[in-house]
Structure 1
Amino acid sequence: MGQVETFVERIAAVKLENCFNPYADTCEIFDRRSAPLIRRQNLLRILCALGAAGEIDVWVGRDLGYRGGRRTGLALTDEHSLELYAFHLKVFSLERSTHGPPVKERTAASVYRVLTAVNIPILTWNVFPLHPHESGKPMSNRQHTRSEAELGFSFLEELCTSFPVRNLIAIGNDAAVWTQRLAPRNLCVRHPSYGGQTIFLKQMNEIYGQRIESYGQGGAI
């Protein structure tokens, strides 16, 4: 088993209370039977594609949410963004692991408005790579704990030392607290949620020199 495969399997082996691990756990409501395998395979395709790149940028969020990463297994990525990510990285396909209509997430919509306009390969990741939820409420979001973040940071650190990272960009202050450990001069932008879309797009425009216009505040959170 290669380094990337081992990395994915180690994340899949993490089991924590009140956390959904999309690479090992199955949602009884929305997931297909093979959902964890599909999400592992998608992540493996992404990491292998990025490993072949000359340099990459890493965009770091906080943790997986129940509308996005819980379903896709990918940070800052909802089901409407899977094929956009596949096209961006020039991988054959990224498969959905759920049944029913695809679910939108507002943060992912903002992120992919930028990601599809930049040329350098992007790895979307989180400080904590699982979906933390409130006790007894699997379809809720909570912020990771300190110990969860410490565990998650070890995976982020490994990625940033294994890949040719050009820019490390924290999306939101919660992520910036941890990315500063890796690169004190790393970049930080406003998180697009809770009315931050316009500032987020403006800051990403400044970083990448793209003309990415702001848009309405409607849509799913």
Structure 2
Amino acid sequence: MSANDLDNFVTAVVAGALIPDPGTMFNPWGDHDPTHDLSPEAPQIRADHLHRYLAARLGRARVLLIAEAPSYSGAKFSGMAMTSERDVLARGAAGHGDDCFDDYFDGGFRRTSRELPQLKNREGMLERTASIVWGAMRDQNWPARDFVLWNAVAYHPHLPGQPLTNRAPSMTERRALRPLLEQFLALFPGVPRMAIGRICQASLADMGIEALPARHPSYGGAPEFRAAVSALRDQLTDGQV
């Protein structure tokens, strides 16, 4: 796919036109959270992160890892699926200059969460699922730009009036946002897919899209998820997928 296709995809994500109810679904790349965002520029920063993250993987990715939906501590602030600010900033602190963010994209990274005592986010927001996913891929020696992380439902579902909550996306939301998932998949034609969690597995099956299943790493599922990643590595090496 071309850079123009990527531009069109990110533009569609930013617009958020397919969100059924903006009161219960946050668009990290188009919405500003005045309480928890560091500045009004936060959505633009996150959109830039997303664009550079995907651009670094176009024409290179060997596998897509697709989960259910963003959480309030992951893409809501980092702009990248299953990626948390704290992990990215920690990589930056351990490196030198902008090159330290090479696992994610070219150039620098900017946090978008406001430091608040109740969030315990002095070093950035932390999503444990994100840490498990990235850790599992690194343990299997995956080059970071050889895999792409995304969600079947692009935006963060939350309870009404409670932006820092997570909930399962409804069937209405899953179907309304299906065109964005199709547009994402079209960026990486022919690339094998892993579906993380039952909601993602059901969404892809409903679309007639084949994907290797993996248990979601939350709620005690980390060992099974790591085993699925190991099996995926073996299958790709053997040419089975």
Instruction: Name the TM-score, length of structure 1 as normaliser.
Output: 0.85
1:13 corresponds in structure 2 to: 15
C-alpha spacing 1:204/1:11, structure 2 compared with 1 (3 Å): same
- Larger CA deviation: 111-120 vs 134-143: 111-120
> 1:157: Cα distance to partner?
1.2
Equivalent positions of 1:41-190 (< 5 A) are: 41-53=48-60, 55-82=61-88, 86-89=101-104, 91-100=106-115, 101=122, 102-116=124-138, 117-119=141-143, 121-181=146-206, 184-190=209-215
In 2, distance between residues paired with 1:182 and 1:58? 16
Moved more, 62-71 or 98-107: 98-107
Task: Return the structure number with greater strand share.
Answer: 1
Aligned to 2:38: 32
Q: CA RMSD in A?
A: 2.3
Asked if structure 2 preserves the Cα contact closer than 8 Å seen for 1:68 and 1:105, the reply is yes
Query: Which has the higher relative contact order, 1 or 2, with Cα contacts under 8 A spaced 6 or more apart?
Result: 2
Question: What is the CA-CA distance between 1:64 and the residue it aligns to?
Answer: 0.9
Secondary structure (helix, strand or coil) at the match of 1:124 reads: strand
Show the counterpart of 1:4.
Answer: 6
Q: Deviations over 1:173-200 (max 9, x none)?
A: 1111122245654201111100111111
Unaligned 5+ segments in structure 2 are 92-99, 116-121, 235-241
- Percent identity, aligned pairs only, is 26
Measure, in 2, the Cα distance between the counterparts of 1:154 and 1:81. 30
Q: Which runs of 5+ in 1 are unaligned?
A: 210-221
How far has the Cα of 1:86 moved from its partner? Answer: 4.1
SS at match of 2:173: helix
CA change 1:108–1:5 in 2 (3 A) is same
User: 2:109 and 2:168 mapped to 1: Cα distance?
Assistant: 27
Structure 2 counterpart SS, 1:128? coil
Quickly say closer, same or farther: Cα 1:182–1:56, change in 2 above 3 A. Answer: farther
Please give the TM-score of this superposition, normalised by the length of structure 2. Answer: 0.78
> How far apart are the structure 1 equivalents of 2:177 and 2:59?
24
